[in-house]
């Protein structure tokens, strides 16, 4: 008994001590990195996923999104380089640099501390070496040295969570009581890279079904800004929870519009009226179908997805109240199209709903004749 205890302690001590670069471990991880590079360049979804760790379901989900995107948009080139490794029992960490080029684009690079774990005899990529901050109902993952920021994120999430839950008609059971994971990215390029290699639009946060919430934030990001980001991103979590088909059926502008409405109602973000009324006067409102598909939309409508969507959702709330809006969302969450859901809940086709909404906005103004401009001397700057 005594001897076994000693032996067990010795094994524990040996395996837990971090060791310097171990050639066998490095060789195993190098194989994995080459596998990831080849998969990214070949658009090989399954090859990428075979190189990724599967112990954490949210990480698997995030990497599945990443790999699905690679299949649609393979990288022209990906080079992964790894700095010195620290190895503990079953895990290795080191600075990892992603350097990649998408077809006809310039090279992009992102570097961060990365972790690899031994699963089924292979070293697999397990993402960033986050520091973990746990509190009731929430865990914040971030780079080391951001304790104060992590504390503010916990406070901001606690301030908005129950408001967002009730805004979407969730009753405090099921998903509302589970632990929400929030990852903090200090640079936009790192947040973009974490989504997929092709992602290049500006963003402040990200959430997809069964993924962590991801936020762009740094040591100076204040409580109010975090509340706005979280009322939007957790608004997505709450939307996906209205029904299993929510993310497949709802047009993109509905997903973003209701998240923006959640941010306005639950964190004091500004309303959409000024911008949308001005678009209406300029004849610059988008057709809804232009705002429906995240994969194929014209970039000129990016702002409209959020703000015009927000305006329509606010109109629906004012006319049918929160309860009517949530019934409409739940109907789409069960797989009904936006037209079917509008007929079922509002007694209107979607086209009729659009006509009623448009009638609340100013008419298009005739363009004023442009005065001929005098030639001006140009100054540098």
Helix spans in 96-187 (H) = 147-167
Tokens of 315: 């109109």
Distance in Å, CB of 12 to Zn ion, minimum: 45
Taking CB under 5 A as the binding criterion, the range among 17-25, 150-158, 250-258, 281-289 that sits at the site for Zn ion is 250-258
Per-residue contact track with Zn ion, 198 to 237, x per CB under 5 A? ----------------------------------------
| Closer by beta carbon to Zn ion, 36 or else 226 | 226
Distance in Å, CB of 206 to Zn ion, minimum: 7
Distance in Å, CB of 232 to Zn ion, minimum: 6
Residue number of the CB closest to Zn ion reads 259
> Could you report how far apart the first and last alpha carbons of the chain are, in Å?
81
The rounded distance, in Å, linking the Cα atoms of 169 and 191 is 30
Closest by Cα among 112, 81, 89, 114 to 22: 89
| Closer by beta carbon to Zn ion, 255 or else 286 | 255
Contact (CB, 8 A) for 38 and 44:
yes
Distance in Å, CB of 105 to Zn ion, minimum: 24
Number of residues located near Zn ion, criterion CB under 5 A: 2
Taking CB under 5 A as the binding criterion, the range among 12-20, 143-151, 158-166, 256-264 that sits at the site for Zn ion is 256-264
| Closer by beta carbon to Zn ion, 37 or else 233 | 233
> Using the rule CB under 5 A, is 259 a contact of Zn ion?
yes
Which residue shows structure tokens 């994971």?
181
The H or E element that residue 79 is part of is strand 77-82
Distance in Å, CB of 305 to Zn ion, minimum: 9
Taking CB under 5 A as the binding criterion, the range among 30-38, 157-165, 255-263, 331-339 that sits at the site for Zn ion is 255-263
* Own/partner pairs, 143-151, CB within 8 angstroms, 24+ separation: 143/112, 143/113, 143/184, 143/186, 146/184, 146/219, 148/219, 149/184, 149/217, 149/218, 149/219, 149/221, 150/184
> Using the rule CB under 5 A, is 67 a contact of Zn ion?
no
Chain centre to alpha carbon of residue 5: 47
| Closer by beta carbon to Zn ion, 143 or else 256 | 256
The DSSP code for 361 is S
> Using the rule CB under 5 A, is 263 a contact of Zn ion?
no
| Closer by beta carbon to Zn ion, 302 or else 350 | 302
Which residues form the interface with Zn ion (CB under 5 A)?
Answer: 256, 259
């Amino acid at each position: 008994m005594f001897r076994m205890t000693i032996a067990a302690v010795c094994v524990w001590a040996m395996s837990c001590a971090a060791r310097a670069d171990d050639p066998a471990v490095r060789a195993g991880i190098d194989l994995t990195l080459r596998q990831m590079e080849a998969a990214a360049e070949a658009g090989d979804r399954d090859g990428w996923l075979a190189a990724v760790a599967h112990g954490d379901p949210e990480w698997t989900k995030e990497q599945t999104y990443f790999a699905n995107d690679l299949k649609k948009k393979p990288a022209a080139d990906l080079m992964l380089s790894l700095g010195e490794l620290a190895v503990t029992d079953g895990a290795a960490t080191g600075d990892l640099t992603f350097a990649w080029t998408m077809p006809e684009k310039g090279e992009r690079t992102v570097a961060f501390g990365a972790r690899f774990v031994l699963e089924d005899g292979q070293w697999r990529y397990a993402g960033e070496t986050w520091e973990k901050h746990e509190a009731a109902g929430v865990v914040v993952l971030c780079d080391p040295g951001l304790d104060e920021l992590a504390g503010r994120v916990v406070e901001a999430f606690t301030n908005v969570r129950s408001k967002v839950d009730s805004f979407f008609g969730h009753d405090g059971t099921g998903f509302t009581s589970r632990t929400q994971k929030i990852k903090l990215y200090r640079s936009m390029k790192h947040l973009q890279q974490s989504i997929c290699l092709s992602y290049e639009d500006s963003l402040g946060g990200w959430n997809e079904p069964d993924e962590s919430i991801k936020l762009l934030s740094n040591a100076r990001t204040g409580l109010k800004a975090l509340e706005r980001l979280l009322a939007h991103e957790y608004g997505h979590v709450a939307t996906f929870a209205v029904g299993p088909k929510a993310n497949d059926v709802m047009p993109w502008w509905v997903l973003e519009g209701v998240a923006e409405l959640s941010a306005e109602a639950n964190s004091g973000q500004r309303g959409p009226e000024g911008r949308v009324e001005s678009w209406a006067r300029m004849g610059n409102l988008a057709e809804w179908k232009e705002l429906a598909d995240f994969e194929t939309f014209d970039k000129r409508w990016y702002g409209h997805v959020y703000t015009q969507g927000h305006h329509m959702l606010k109109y629906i709330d004012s006319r049918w109240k929160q309860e009517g809006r949530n019934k409409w969302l739940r109907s789409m969450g069960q797989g009904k199209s936006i037209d079917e859901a509008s007929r079922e809940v509002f007694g209107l086709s979607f086209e009729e709903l659009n006509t009623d909404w448009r009638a609340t906005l100013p008419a298009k103004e005739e363009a004023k004749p442009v005065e001929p401009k005098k030639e001006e001397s140009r100054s540098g700057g």
